[in-house]
Structure 1
Amino acid sequence: MTLSQRDLADVGVLIGCALRPKTRPGADSDYRTLLGRYRADVEFRNAVDSILDGLDAQVLSDSDLGLVLGVRRESVFAYHVSDLPNVGGVRERLLVGLVSVAIAAYAFPTPADFDDDRVRWVSVDEIERFVRDMCDQLKRTPEKTSREDESFEEAWRTYDRLSPGYKADKGKRKARRSSASSPYWVAHVLTWMVDQGLARPAPARGPEVFQLLERFRIQAGELAGNATYDLLAAIRRGDYPAEGAGA
């Protein structure tokens, strides 16, 4: 059967829903219907996958929470760190990139964790301590870190120079987090993740606690094999430095 113009329009509607991270099939009947068709209708599924391929994207998951897409670096839909608000310079991009990978490594330190759908929570304080401890470990193994990617080394050294607590913005009377403090950047990334449907606030579990959603777990799985993720995950597991390294 050849797909009609109406069918192709439905393909576009489904892709559009998948590109809106806060849209859920449970709350959108059209999305729910088209997701069901994507699962059951091979021709329709192939059309969706082919169009996504032409856009340098692919379906990573088609769970009841909707289509989760992954995109290649060259895709028009590719996420760039500079897309975040208040992230314009190299320093800011390095910090956001480091914190983003740190959240993934903290919550999913082994490849098997990416297939485990149990609920995970993280807090600003937990991620801040994790990254801070990572910096301390890397400072103790300079001969090993010198072999790492230069941008990664610049990122963690930039983070290490930040204030670990509150620091008043210049000219402000009341102390509050500013971009000169590391918790500011952790909170900044987690708040952005909420906007992208990757996390949700969990105030009942404590101040600045966030629940990581399935969409983040699936997308974070694409980091497997990334050198920075592998190093941070090893630190999270307690496997860094490797036996005999740094001594």
Structure 2
Amino acid sequence: MNVPLEDVRHAAALVSFGLRHGAKPTDGNPYGLLLHRYRTEAAFRDTVDVLASGFGLSVLGTPARTGIVVTTQPGSVFAIRTSDLRSTTMSPDDKLVAGLITLAIAAYAFPHARDLDSTDVKIIEVVALDTFIRSAVERVTATTGDDGNEAQARRAADVYDRMNAFAPKANQPGPAKGCTQWAIVEVLGWLVDRGAARPAPTMGATTYQLTDRFRLLVADIGGGEALEALRHARRDMKTA
């Protein structure tokens, strides 16, 4: 069946909205109208999914609060890399730590796989997350997986454990580069830039709210020994 060129253009526009993380759908704006078509018209949904696939993307879902959520397939030009983190002067160890923090945020917010089905608001506070990661370091270093990701997670946990939790900036509030709280702020800022989190200043200066985009991305990546070790630590913390 031939697809009208106008539908192809509209499908491309919807995928584009999914890549623009600051865009918000409403009932009357172009994004909201296209999102409604995706949810209600099977032919248009198929066109969007096929077009996204051609760009190395997959549609994960269309939650009302977030809009269309897309993730990258292997080799996609849109793939997110640790080099995309906000700081341009991160060492290899800094990037390993950033990866561990991202896993820890996922485990902290979603300690059970079933939690990924819930749209409840998830809150992350920098100091609390740092405390959690430090309590879980031994579990991560004890993992035995021998693939590249698990080995990197063990190294990241070792590096994290040796870093200071907090170092003050000179004449400025907030943590200085080189401590783990600074690394957490960097990762959370990176998630904010990608629409996966938002600051929650009414709850505290170092508090963030995760969005449905983050939840769907976590559900898409599956697991691994390091993530499961962190989830076990979070479950133990919640029952203590």
Whether the TM-score (by the shorter chain) exceeds 0.5 is yes
Instruction: Specify the code of the residue in structure 2 equivalent to 1:49.
Output: D
Q: Distance between the aligned counterparts of 2:30 and 2:174, measured in 1?
A: 44
Shift of 1:25: 0.8
C-alpha distance 161-12 of structure 1, shift in aligned 2 (>3 A): same
Alignment of 1:1-247 (within 5 A): 2-26=2-26, 29-64=29-64, 65-87=66-88, 88-135=90-137, 137-138=138-139, 144-145=142-143, 149-168=150-169, 172=170, 177-238=175-236
C-alpha distance 21-174 of structure 1, shift in aligned 2 (>3 A): closer
Q: Distance between the aligned counterparts of 1:150 and 1:9, measured in 2?
A: 44
Q: Give the total of aligned pairs.
A: 232
Instruction: Specify the code of the residue in structure 2 equivalent to 1:8.
Output: V
Scaled by the length of structure 1, the TM-score of the pair is: 0.86
Q: Distance between the aligned counterparts of 1:32 and 1:69, measured in 2?
A: 16
Instruction: Specify the code of the residue in structure 1 equivalent to 2:157.
Output: W
Q: Distance between the aligned counterparts of 2:174 and 2:105, measured in 1?
A: 23
Q: Distance between the aligned counterparts of 2:29 and 2:36, measured in 1?
A: 11
Shift of 1:163: 0.8
C-alpha distance 235-9 of structure 1, shift in aligned 2 (>3 A): same
Aligned to 1:242: none
Specify the SS of the correspondent of 1:76.
coil
Shift of 1:173: 6.2
CA RMSD of aligned residues (A): 2.2
Instruction: Specify the code of the residue in structure 2 equivalent to 1:184.
Output: W
Shift of 1:146: 5.4
Gaps of at least 5 residues in structure 1 are 240-247
Specify the SS of the correspondent of 1:66.
coil
Instruction: Specify the code of the residue in structure 2 equivalent to 1:96.
Output: A
The answer to whether the Cα contact below 8 Å between 1:111 and 1:224 also exists between their aligned partners in 2 is no
Shift of 1:190: 1.0
Q: Distance between the aligned counterparts of 1:175 and 1:84, measured in 2?
A: 22
Q: Distance between the aligned counterparts of 2:145 and 2:19, measured in 1?
A: 38
The answer to whether the Cα contact below 8 Å between 1:224 and 1:230 also exists between their aligned partners in 2 is no
C-alpha distance 28-133 of structure 1, shift in aligned 2 (>3 A): farther
How far does the alpha carbon of each residue in 1:115-154 deviate from its partner, in whole angstroms, 9 at most, with x for none?
Answer: 011111110011100111112x349xx7x34556321111
Shift of 1:205: 1.5
C-alpha distance 147-79 of structure 1, shift in aligned 2 (>3 A): closer
Instruction: Specify the code of the residue in structure 2 equivalent to 1:213.
Output: T
Decide which structure has the larger Cα Rg and report it.
Answer: 1
Q: Distance between the aligned counterparts of 1:66 and 1:118, measured in 2?
A: 16
Q: Distance between the aligned counterparts of 1:92 and 1:115, measured in 2?
A: 32
